[in-house]
Structure 1
C-alpha cells in the first residue's frame, strides 16, 4: 500500500466515524467510541470544526494517506475500522 499523503476526499467522514477519540470534542466531552458518528460531522460528512481552534488536536493532526484512506469512502471506513480494532 502507498503511504504518501493524499488530498482528503470531501464528504468521506470515515476518520470522524471509525476511530475512537479519547479527547473532549465540543458536544462530546468524553470523546467518542469507535464506530460512533462525531456530533461535529454534518449531514454532508464535513467537519463543522474544521479550521476552528476547538477542534481536537488528534483530528487536526490526522493526515490522509492511501494506506489509511484507500481509494473510496467505503474503503476508508473499512481500513480505519480495521486499524481501530487492531489497536
Structure 2
C-alpha cells in the first residue's frame, strides 16, 4: 500500500464523518461519535475550522495518504470506517 502523503480531496469529508473524535470541537464539546457528521463540516464537505487555531489537534495532524483515503471519496469513507472499527 502507498503510505506517502497525498493532496486531500476537497469536498470529501470522510475524515470528518467516519472516525470518532474524543477531543472537544467547537459546537461539539464532547467530541463526536464514529459515523457522526462533524458540526464544523459545511454543506460542501469542507471544514469550517480549516486553518483556525480552534480546530482540534487530531484534525490538524491528520495526513491524507492513499492507504487511508483511497482513490475516491466513497473509498475514503469505507477505509476510515474500517480503521475506526478495528481500533
TM-score above 0.5: yes
Shift of 1:13: 0.1
Give the Cα separation in 2 of the matches to 1:50 and 1:5. 18
Taking structure 2 as the reference length, the TM-score comes to 1.00
Q: Could you give the per-residue CA deviations for residues 21-80 of structure 1, whole angstroms, max 9, x where no partner exists? A: 000000000000000000000000000000000000000000000000000000000000
Give the Cα separation in 2 of the matches to 1:2 and 1:54. 31
- Unmatched 5+ stretches in structure 1: none
Which residue does 1:83 correspond to in 2? 83
Which residue does 1:67 correspond to in 2? 67
Give the Cα separation in 2 of the matches to 1:37 and 1:65. 21
Structure 1: which 4+ aligned runs deviate by more than 2 Å?
none
DSSP-derived class of the 2:85 partner: helix
- Unmatched 5+ stretches in structure 2: none
Structural RMSD (CA): 0.2
Give the Cα separation in 2 of the matches to 1:48 and 1:85. 26
